[in-house]
Amino acid sequence: MKKSYFEGIAAGVYIGIGGAVFLACDNRYLGAVFFTVALLSICITGMQLFTGKVGMIVTSHTKADVVSLFGCLLGNLCGTLLCALIARIGVPQLEERSLAVASGKLAAMPGDSVRVLFAGILCGILMYTAVWAYKQKNTVWGILFCVPVFILAGFEHSIADMFYVFFAGIFSPAAYFSPNGFLFLLLVVLGNSVGGMLIPFLALIGNGKAKTGA
């Protein structure tokens, strides 16, 4: 768990950097493209991201695997919080946009719970695909297409959303470190988990084995 936790922190920091560059871009299409630096960096350095790791549970679900997965998720959470704290000092000019993005995500909670869950599922499918392509086919094309697609389509990525909520929460704690903020993140984590496991589960049923990423 120690390895997963600390590599998860590093991955969370990378996702936070991707989130910061997205906030900094006036053009959302450019922001979506530049966000890929996060997953590219994670895959190249071999760090651990929950949304790329959860699909492995389908074919390898020992107690150690489950503990490692939760260690990774906890590390991702801590990493995004760390990056948010650093960004608060390093790029305070992003305050207005961080508040706008986070408030948009939480505005309809809890009534928007079903949409959030299903948007998380769709993102989980794409993240599994991106990481699987990198690990199994040795190509970054999955990352370069899947990441912008989930952003532009409005799908929800739990670790990126942690950064947005934490960054906004530093400026306005009462609004974002709240029951609605917790519920939102929990639903996206659940959605990403279902989406990330869906493709390998279907492969397991259809072929007798699943093709897992890392």
Judge whether 81 lies within some domain: yes
Judge whether 122 lies within some domain: yes
DSSP 8-state symbol, 54:
G
pLDDT digits (tens, 9 = 90+) for 20-67: 999 999 999 999 999 999 999 999 999 999 999 999 888 877 889 899
- pTM equals 0.93
CATH number at residue 137: 1.20.1080.10
Judge whether 111 lies within some domain: yes
Tokens encoding 86:
């650093």
For residue 208, the model assigns a pLDDT of 64
Question: How much of the chain exceeds pLDDT 70, in percent?
Answer: 97
Q: What is the DSSP string of 185-199?
A: HHHHHHHHHHHHHHH
Give 156's pLDDT tier (boundaries 50, 70, 90). very high
Q: Is the pLDDT of residue 5 over 60?
A: yes
Task: Tell me how many domains the chain contains.
Answer: 1
Say if residue 110 is preceded by a cis peptide, omega within 30 of 0: yes
